[in-house]
Structure 1
């Protein structure tokens, strides 16, 4: 059986590694044209790969640095893990485990406190210390039935921008939204070519509209029109499928939704990945026009430095609790932490609650309850009164949401 070794990716090896990732996800190798657009978003830095005896990559894990907003508003450097895959003829040999270990050890050595990813399969990443930390929902709004309440969304104007204008203007506009809620991530310069520019300048018909309020541009939406007509229903309107919608103010958010729901010859407006607490139904005279089509895990988080991560976020009002954390990949995180409104410290005091790093990671941004995870056996309760205190300490007023794919 051929052996493999894991090491950092060197300059010039990125395209071959991207092809491994594409193949593992049942895609095609990148054409010269696609690679020209992708290359700025795929530097060698932050990548580890498994290579066979001939130096050919057979597995890849990739990351780049972003800033993630944590409860209280502080932004922590986070490794955005944007590509993990193993070639089909090399699976079940420990390659993924070896690559993830190399990546985590590198992040810990460099002092990166968090790592985050969007999981292709929900069963993979828990064993590496990741937990589902934000969730999102899919929505579908029945267009003819969706009448907006009087005065909703009328405080600004919406205009289309060309793909070239979108590429030039939207990145600066997005920077106005950073830090608005836990889970939100920055979009560094390298993110845009591969995840935004390639979409809006491509052949799939995406349109970009920008909302302007009293202080200038303050929101944008990217959407695609899908023809839903057939022989049985030739009169059926189109489906507007939202790829992303972001707004700096409630007025801009309402104005963008007013715009979408006012477009003629449309039967429905739909979007995936929307915040769980988005009050869309409250815009309408008939809230039943809004349907939730799915609720699904979104951002998976991994506390690489538990102490630094816990100290960076704010907490609610409750008596402190002592958490005992276990981390089999990074044992330096093992230990007890006293968490309270005034901060976090390591302690030798007896634990109130015991949990692994994946469970703590899933609770870190404020989604979920210690009590629920205690019922499922993921939190070991040593002091029953501590459960309610922990929930009060970690709860956030706004539901965490990421809103960015990588």
Structure 2
């Protein structure tokens, strides 16, 4: 690494860094129009580049956000993306040094959490990231003459005009709020990159909005895809890529509307929460299948004591966790975790784990007993596993629902 330099990018270097990132994903450079909108989401002061002989060969960027943790607290979050190294410079420690510089900056900025979506699951564990949320891709056969029964509650669904999407959807998302562990805020730059850029490129995107007694309280954003139904005809599939509501009832109301659409063979929704029971609203549960179960959010506890102290815990006697963090050694140590709070301690450890396994436990996605059974956590006091399961459990499975 002695002939590489890791530093923050100048404004004039950000597009070249983005091209390096796209190339690492085997994609072509962004068009002028796509770059004009997509470049606004990542502040230059958070964009790192790796340079060799004056040429950019690696990139790691982030933007500021917030994330809800169990109990309802919302913590500052670094949303990490555009991470990549040119294929002719990999396996030389470039990514490691990019991650090291970025994590140091995130900690200095006072953001106790960082998250990302991993292109390959083998990459980020060594930097302290662990899978904290998972999602399932659900495909449901449309009603085909068997309408979904009415659901409890009062509400109606309308389709937005295309010109309303850029103003109405951010407003509704803000109103819905971060009510589930793992949900994150969406700054203006996110909407520019993920929605307005696509609208400017004339992509066909459709949005429906659910309204209840108190106003707009949920939405679904989707595309339609032609699928072969028979040699002599085609049907459409609705592909949902963004759906949120203030309650489960609202989300299921959106599902019911989509499943009743004419000329639609199926509805496919990407990375839905694990506890979203679409099957229960169908006349035939067999019309719903899980097409895929995937990692959704990779989480990094950048400031372990701050993150642990921010969430709430179940009713159980405390456990002492011994945490190891190679990249940020100031996080390493023992923490007594209980329903009354968190504190550093010199007491003997009940459970020992690396910081990436702590991320898997933190939002409530996996219990400590499962992590121990797979070797990701070492129990020094076996009875502590049951206590940790109760302490870290959550009423709802964690889910972000925001891709970046």
Deviates more, 1:142-151 or 1:277-286: 142-151
1:51-97 CA-to-partner distances (Å, cap 9, x unmatched) read 1212x211000111111000000000011002100011111111000
The aligned residue for residue 342 of structure 1 is 340
1:296-336 CA-to-partner distances (Å, cap 9, x unmatched) read 11100001111000000000000000000110111101110
SS in structure 2 at match of 1:64: strand
Match of 1:292 among 247, 268, 290: 290
State TM-score, norm by structure 2. 0.96
Matched, 1:192 2:191: yes
The aligned residue for residue 59 of structure 1 is 58
SS in structure 1 at match of 2:159: strand
1:246-282 CA-to-partner distances (Å, cap 9, x unmatched) read 1123443232112111111111111111011101111
SS in structure 1 at match of 2:369: helix
Deviation at 1:244, TM superposition (A): 1.1
Alignment of 1:6-155 (within 5 A): 6-54=6-54, 56-144=55-143, 147-152=146-151, 155=154
SS in structure 2 at match of 1:77: strand
1: CA distance, partners of 2:318 / 2:286: 43
2: CA distance, partners of 1:84 / 1:3: 20
1: CA distance, partners of 2:20 / 2:356: 28
SS in structure 1 at match of 2:64: strand
Equivalent residues of 1:66, 1:79 under 8 A apart? yes
1: CA distance, partners of 2:261 / 2:197: 25
Gaps of 5+ in 2: none
2: CA distance, partners of 1:296 / 1:250: 21
1: CA distance, partners of 2:193 / 2:148: 38
The aligned residue for residue 276 of structure 2 is 278
- Supply the RMSD in Å over aligned alpha carbons: 1.6
2: CA distance, partners of 1:288 / 1:32: 46
2: CA distance, partners of 1:150 / 1:282: 10
Aligned residue-pair number: 404
SS in structure 2 at match of 1:103: helix
1: CA distance, partners of 2:335 / 2:145: 50
Gaps of 5+ in 1: none
1:137-193 CA-to-partner distances (Å, cap 9, x unmatched) read 010101135845532277222222222211011101101222211000000111110
